[in-house]
Amino acid sequence: MPNRYAVILAAGQGTRMKSKLYKVLHPVCGKPMVQHVVDHISKLNIQEIVTIIGHGAEMVQAQLGDKSLYALQNEQLGTAHAVMQAQKMLEGKDGITIVVCGDTPLIKAETMEALFKHHENLSAKATILTATIDNPTGYGRIIRSAEGLVEKIVEHKDASEAERKINEINTGTYCFDNQALFEALKRVSNDNVQGEYYLPDVIEILKKQGEVVTAYQTDEFEETLGVNDRVALAEAERIMRLRINEAHMRNGVTIIDPANTYIEADVEIGQDTVIYPGTMIKGQTTIGTECVIGPNSEIDTCEVGNETVIRQSAAFNSSIGSHVNIGPFAHIRPDSTILDDVKIGNFVEIKKAVFGKGSKASHLSYIGDAEVGSDVNIGCGSITVNYDGKNKYLTKIEDGVFIGCNSNLVAPVTIKKGSYVAAGSTITKNVPEDALAIARAKQMNKEGYVQKLNLKK
Ligand code: UD1
Ligand code: CA
């Protein structure tokens, strides 16, 4: 197999996005566009990946890390000028170079592989990945001769009325013979409407030299979407979302309504888990088998075990065990560890807490900065009083403790093993093992008092 190199174009500002964030860093299904591109390319056996950076260079580099080499394009003079910046790194090397735009996150690795194969089989010097689309506005058009051979690419802005009627477009992905590419780049001019050095002009240059120039047409036109504005961004998101959901369904996950289920690119979900509509699963989340998630749950960067139910609830940066039942309307805030067989019921908030095996907080509680042992029952309305306005303190609730309803546990405080806290207590001192703590005003009944005060007619 010939050597393979890749150049990713990611130096543009992305003016049409109207954004502070550089275009290629806009996320699609939670992952920056350029990261999608690099992830796809990384599957292809490439010797060297060079990303051309300019606008937001440090941020793009920080995002991609050592998955790529970098070449800086100080001034954005066009896509041909961008590729030229990789000259020092690639010129003179034998092999095939794929060029991909950082704003086409949907092109699949298989399609790029097919492009390489087509290029190799025809011993071409250049092969364009093309697609036929209904609305080609904005894209470069493929100009073919009467015999159907590729002649050149004309940019939308430079195209004549007749050329604009052509529906076959340049997707912005190409394979080139590496040496022929860098030779031809030296001859590209900026004599066009935009005054830019166009990479597509390399096609005409090579063609005029009598080299073999071909096109590989993908019929999956959805893959080829170039994201230049927020409308296209939403479209890319929609296509990627359905693609991700389809992969999960093929893996044995039931998704009741894929059009209304938002799963980011790096999420893993086990077999026979059922996802109900309105659910967002984000970041590096893994969910086990036979779980029920949603409707309307948001889970971000969590590890969830098997057979766990998370209904109409939110969970962030936490670990949640197996056979756990959460919600409806619970909030698991970051740094929480919920062990197996736990129940977190409606209107319960957990923050930075360990919740031991088999423990329950079934209704209306706040448990923050706490270590809760196993088989603890936290009664309705009970809370940890963890904050004095300045500092946060820890509450420890040991195994088998029973906290009566509407108790305040004023931290720092420890409720020792097996003890009981009477309902309505405000606990400010540690409770010893197996004790009953009552910390509330005694009830007083004043007989006949209502008549005495003449309160009743
Ligand atoms: C480009 C193609 C067009 C094709 C379309 C496919 C050119 C001249 N036109 O148009 O034929 O149909 O992609 O989506 O190539 N970039 C740089 N440096 C620059 C200019 C651009 O790195 O100096 C990068 C951008 O960050 C972007 C990519 O190259 O990721 C493409 O540039 P963009 O301005 O989006 O080109 P299009 O107008 O979409
Ligand atoms: Ca583009």
Please give the helix or strand (H or E) that residue 83 lies within, else none. Answer: helix 79-84
Instruction: State the pLDDT confidence band at 454, using cuts at 50, 70 and 90.
Output: confident
Q: Which atom of ligand 1 is nearest to the CA of 198?
A: 8
Q: Which atom of ligand 1 is nearest to the CA of 139?
A: 12
The environment of the single-atom ion ligand 2, i.e. residues with CB closer than 5 A, is 103, 226, 228
Q: Across all residues in the chain, what is the average pLDDT? A: 97
DSSP state of 394: -
349: tokens are 């908030």
Helices (H), 122-276: 161-164, 178-185, 201-208, 230-250
Q: What is the pLDDT of residues 404-431, one digit of tens each?
A: 999 999 999 999 999 999 999 999 999 9
- Residue whose Cα lies nearest atom 8 of ligand 1: it is 198
Please give the helix or strand (H or E) that residue 116 lies within, else none. Answer: helix 109-121
Strands (E), 339-407: 343-346, 349-355, 360-363, 366-372, 377-378, 383-385, 395-397, 402-403
Q: Which atom of ligand 1 is nearest to the CA of 170?
A: 12
For residue 181, the CA-to-ligand 2 centroid distance in Å is 21
Q: What is the pLDDT of residues 123-178, one digit of tens each?
A: 999 999 999 999 999 999 999 999 999 999 999 999 999 999 999 999 999 999 99
209: tokens are 């030299």
CA distance 94 to 236: 35
Residues designated as active site: 363
Domains parsed from the chain with CATH numbers = 4-224 (3.90.550.10), 313-437 (2.160.10.10)
Query: pTM for this structure?
Result: 0.91
Supply the pLDDT for residue 457.
Answer: 61
Average pLDDT of span 236-262: 98
CA distance 66 to 45: 16
Supply the pLDDT for residue 250.
Answer: 98
Q: What is the pLDDT of residues 7-57, one digit of tens each?
A: 999 999 899 999 999 999 999 999 999 999 999 999 999 999 999 999 999
For residue 79, the CA-to-ligand 1 centroid distance in Å is 6
CA distance 246 to 33: 20
For residue 363, the CA-to-ligand 2 centroid distance in Å is 51
DSSP state of 392: B
Average pLDDT of span 391-399: 98
- Residue whose Cα lies nearest atom 10 of ligand 1: it is 139
Q: What is the pLDDT of residues 170-226, one digit of tens each?
A: 999 999 999 999 999 999 999 999 999 999 999 999 999 999 999 999 998 899 899
